[in-house]
Structure 1
């Protein structure tokens, strides 16, 4: 078979894979428990998750926050599960807007770590599959929230994205246990720190090669997050690049001058372990 045909077929396969990944992401209109509200409670105890993160995460030399899954004891895993059960019993509608966002982000991230620990060792979260066509564990119903069986997809696409549609920065604090993902926070989020953390996390990821980089010949490579959630970031590559520039360092901003297209999207699905 001629070499150009092989190259064409390879590109087609890559394109199909990217399309499948995008199709696997639900629209932000999933059936969800009734959680919408704007209550007065601003403080919620996330101490167990905070201690877990401090004890079992560290940042590597490349700036990737990694989890020491192999050394997490059964006792600490049990404490994590207990924390998740307590979260599931909370009436999120009684929380303030900031406390509610921190609650759901902590819930999502802690549940993701719990999934990995349930199946560890694995090389990637995408290796955790059910029957048939399955790209990962995101649709598995893991907990009852207000009487509704709830999955990771339900939390992200049925709750977080619909309730905060004008805050694309939420994607910088949600972690899917992959190296290519924005870092897992090393402290629990709270009503008091979530707003500042969104901006810090955005700047960190945008200025990391995992987020955005510009080659010597001017080609822009970006995380697939900007492709998967194009609408959340503005609906076009032009607007996505404007968003990126708003968080870019002076050096990166200069390299992005005049750029209106992203030539390549990448994502590393390797497990964020050490």
Structure 2
């Protein structure tokens, strides 16, 4: 069942404590669509506008991720060499050989000062407030998805920075005190956790589409990639498919251990609600993205085990750093492992780009709206309030992220 709500309006002029606020003359009709499966979604997040041409800009996130994300490219399915003692040390670096050199890396090491870390927090706060200015139902469904994924991922990075340089993240994600259940956000007056975003908003709004799980970065190697750019409404589903393709065809996603045993990531077990008939639905999903001989390996298997894990944080080398010269050996070795797959899409982090990035973001206005979009959204919000029987004037002086495609 689909419900459509329309809003037709023209120019308005109103006051707030003697202050006049003018609104752009408009005359058009927007249709808000609410699907039946959105019944349990918080009211502020229900609905979408299929005809909407509003887009949200993420220039600041692009600057951040372009500078701090190292793309490792497609997995070559090779295991990393076994644990080795560092030169001049009896200590060994414990690594997960199956997937140690996989997954894109985030340069947590570059966020050393409070000022640098505040860049992440400021972006998160700006995103968190966006629906106060532009209610999400004004946007196309894909634009909403990009918004939620970016908010989720920026907030996750903000939390991981607080834990860094902790290497093993398993205890942070598994159990009753999981970071995923903490109410860390407040959007449109509603407190939200990571799990709220995934399970109470995105799952029903996008019909339990398992592609969603590949856009939710959780900071450990055994999870989906952080991308070197923000999600955008016009390309979000292709980006999710790219992430799915990379993950499914990596050792941290799938691994044919023996002829009759096919191992998959525990990520699928933790997200089994996306696969109602778990094994059959998962096999079908994997076949959509697997390449080469792995199709046959999956078909030949008689057992599927969801036991692939790597809870190590997706940094570059900082969590392995020790004191003394021996640290340099481990850092160099790990960097070689991470970027050794450059022919398959890997990219290096540029130190010059990082130093310039902070200045570029600081100079950015975090602009989310064009002036025309701002006036339209302001007028639409006013009319919506009129229809609801109340009017509350809000000054939209803060820069915004939304623009309209012509």
Structure-2-length-normalised TM-score = 0.56
Secondary structure, in 3 states, of the residue corresponding to 2:250?
Answer: coil
Which of the numbers 146, 150, 155 marks the counterpart of 1:102? 146
Query: After superposition, what is the alpha-carbon deviation per residue over 1:65-84, rounded to whole angstroms, capped at 9, x for unaligned?
Result: 11111221433322221211
Deviates more, 1:222-231 or 1:240-249: 222-231
Which residue is equivalent to 2:367? none
1:56 to 37, 58, 68: 68
> Which structure has the larger Rg over C-alpha atoms?
2
Q: Deviations over 1:11-59 (max 9, x none)?
A: xxxxxxxxxxxxxxxxx99874621221325410111111111111113
1:137 aligns with 2:179: yes
Give runs of aligned pairs for residues 2-17 of structure 1, distance below 5 A. Answer: none
For the 8 Å contact 1:140–1:151, the answer to whether it is kept is yes
Contact 2:248 2:286 in 1 (8 A): yes
Q: Which residue of 2 aligns with 1:146?
A: 188
Aligned to 2:285: 243
Shift of 1:218: 3.2
Distance 1:214 1:29 in 2: 41
Is residue 2:58 matched to residue 1:46? yes
Greater relative CO (CA pairs within 8 A, separation 6+) = 2
Decide which of 94, 100, 106 is 1:67's aligned counterpart: 106
What residue is the counterpart of 2:155 in the other structure? 111
1:259, distance to aligned residue in structure 2 (A): 3.7
Q: What is residue 251 of structure 2 aligned with on the other side?
A: 209
Moved over 4 A (4+): 28-33, 126-129
**Against the structure 1 CA distance between its residues 76 and 160, is the aligned structure 2 distance closer, same or farther, given a 3 Å change threshold?**
farther
Residue in structure 2 matched with residue 88 of structure 1 by the alignment:
128
Cα distance in 2 for residues equivalent to 1:260 and 1:34: 46
CA, structure 1 residues 31+138, in 2 after alignment: closer, same or farther (shift >3 Å)? farther
Pick which of 255-264 and 106-115 moved more.
255-264
**SS of 1:201 mapped into structure 2:** helix
Cα shift at 1:217: 3.1
The answer to whether structure 1 residue 76 and structure 2 residue 116 are counterparts is: yes
Give TM-score, length-normalised by structure 1.
0.81
Aligned residue in 1 for 2:323: none
Higher strand fraction: Structure 1 or Structure 2? 2
SS of equivalent residue, structure 1 residue 124: coil
**Cα offsets for 1:182-213 (capped at 9, x unmatched):** 11111100011101112111111111111111
Q: Does 1:199 pair with 2:241? A: yes
**For the residues of structure 2 that align with 1:238 and 1:149, how far apart are their CA atoms?**
36
Q: Separation in 1 of the partners of 2:229 and 2:249?
A: 21
CA separation in 2, counterparts of 1:248 and 1:194? 21
- Give me the whole-angstrom Cα distance separating, in 2, the residues matched to 1:256 and 1:175: 26
How many angstroms apart in 2 are the aligned matches of 1:215 and 1:35? 44
Deviations 1:70-127 (A, max 9, x none): 2214333222212111211122222211110011011111110000112323223445
Rounded to whole Å, the distance in 2 between the matches of 1:273 and 1:30 is 37
Gaps of 5+ in 1: 1-27
Q: Displacement, 1:128?
A: 4.8
Shift of 1:252: 1.2
**Contact 1:241–1:260, Cα closer than 8 Å, also in 2:** no
User: Which residue, out of 252, 256, 260, partners 2:294?
Assistant: 252
Aligned runs of 1:167-246 on 2, under 5 Å?
Answer: 167-246=209-288
Count of paired positions: 244
For structure 1, which segment, 214-223 or 171-180, has the greater mean C-alpha deviation from structure 2 after superposition? Answer: 214-223
| Worse-superposed segment, 210-219 or 259-268 | 259-268
Residue matched to 2:86: none
